[in-house]
Structure 1
């Protein structure tokens, strides 16, 4: 891999880390970038998953003040994310590579739809939290929903953050800022366990994983500090364009 490709992957990692910390869907930046450089889909997915974990942790660190008082919830829902992420990672490893290649266009399409509908989801959640007290309670179905989302995240994970904030936004009575901090932790757990499995037994391109990790860490810190000040429509537009481009490339091939 040449210097130009390495630089572009690093930049994509910064963008993904920033977007993941502030919104979610950073995979729709890094994954298509890797595919554009000819990286096989499964190798791209496992290397990307490993690389993005430090970015999620950096984003969680940036939101550490909002995590205060959420230890019990983190332990409960973190276990759900852990189990789901492990199952999703195992599915990726045991299913044929052809199965992943067949479902990737569907997952990318789903991710693009979620990015487009993200503002509507956010407004709905914001209205709900304007009407309900932030008493910290959570619905019974949040735990299994997070576990199922962990399976999705361990297998692929595009727009996982958008789905996560929607689920906990509906089911947990907390402020949006505290929910976003929780989202970063849960995504890091789901991706972290699947990334550990990939590191042990999968075909990982460690140069790619390292480049994304460095970029995503910088982006995670940036996203936690100024992500809410960045023009969300611009970021969303970039993600949608990249995702649609990747989808078209898959269908053409």
Structure 2
């Protein structure tokens, strides 16, 4: 990897760490970047998942004030994320590489759609969100099931996992939305961490440690910056940037 490629990957890691903390779709930046510098698709996905854990840690740390009072929700949902992440990571390792190459464009397209639809989903959720009222039991069950499915998706690929999570949380929970964003960061970090550990234990030969380290260094800084100043960034500009990168990645994968 050339010095320029190293710089580009670190910069992509910074952007992904920031966006994962704020929006939840940083993989749509790092994954296409890794493909562009010549990293094979499965290796790029696995190494990227490992590297992004660092950004999740700093992002969660930045949201600790919002997480006060969310302990019971976190304890209830964390097992769902753990189980889902293990299933998704194992599916990635079991399915042939050709299947991954075929599925990834659809996953990126789904991620782009979710990112672009995010504001509308959140506006709808706010209109159905009554803070302070206990959630019906079926909301709790549906939320746990949804977090499990999101964990499977996140363990397998993960682009826009945060958008899926915040949509579920804001629709099926009565907690304040800022607190839910903190919970989203916790669950997303756990999914990435479990998936990373699964990859390292089961198939260490598929890990490119240089890539993981470069993404991790960038994401560590990006998660900190995202928690500090991310709310001041224009969200529509971020979404447009992610959408452009996602479309470019789809074209590159389909035509390549």
- Separation of aligned partners in 1, 2:134 and 2:158: 27
- Separation of aligned partners in 2, 1:23 and 1:34: 21
CA RMSD of aligned residues (A): 1.1
CA-to-aligned-CA distance 1:170-228 (integer Å, 9 cap, x gap): 11111110000000000011111111011223311111101111111111111111111
Q: Is the 8 A contact 1:136 1:174 kept in 2?
A: no
**Residue number in structure 2 paired with 1:122:** 122
2:128 aligns to what SS in structure 1? helix
Gaps of 5+ in 1: none
**Residue number in structure 2 paired with 1:188:** 189
- One of 194, 218, 221 as aligned partner of 1:218: 221
- Separation of aligned partners in 2, 1:204 and 1:136: 44
Provide TM-score, normalisation by structure 1.
0.97
CA-to-aligned-CA distance 1:83-114 (integer Å, 9 cap, x gap): 00000000001111111111001101101111
- Is 1:244 the counterpart of 2:250? The answer is no
CA-to-aligned-CA distance 1:41-64 (integer Å, 9 cap, x gap): 000000000001111111111000
**Residue number in structure 2 paired with 1:133:** 131
- 1:136, distance to aligned residue in structure 2 (A): 6.0
Q: Is the 8 A contact 1:18 1:223 kept in 2?
A: yes
- Is 1:112 the counterpart of 2:112? The answer is yes
The within-5 A match list for 1:10-159 is 10-129=10-129, 132-135=130-133, 137=135, 139-159=140-160
**Residue number in structure 1 paired with 2:201:** 200
Q: Is the 8 A contact 1:46 1:195 kept in 2?
A: yes
- Separation of aligned partners in 2, 1:136 and 1:77: 17
- Separation of aligned partners in 2, 1:208 and 1:244: 23
- Separation of aligned partners in 1, 2:127 and 2:8: 39
- Separation of aligned partners in 1, 2:19 and 2:10: 14
Kindly tell me: are residues 76 and 46 of structure 1, through their superposed partners in 2, closer, same or farther at Cα, counting changes over 3 Å?
same
- Is 1:228 the counterpart of 2:231? The answer is yes
**Residue number in structure 2 paired with 1:177:** 178
Runs of 4+ in 1 over 4 A off after TM superposition: none
- Separation of aligned partners in 1, 2:132 and 2:228: 23
> How many positions carry a matched residue from both structures?
251
Q: Is the 8 A contact 2:131 2:176 kept in 1?
A: no
**Residue number in structure 2 paired with 1:168:** 169
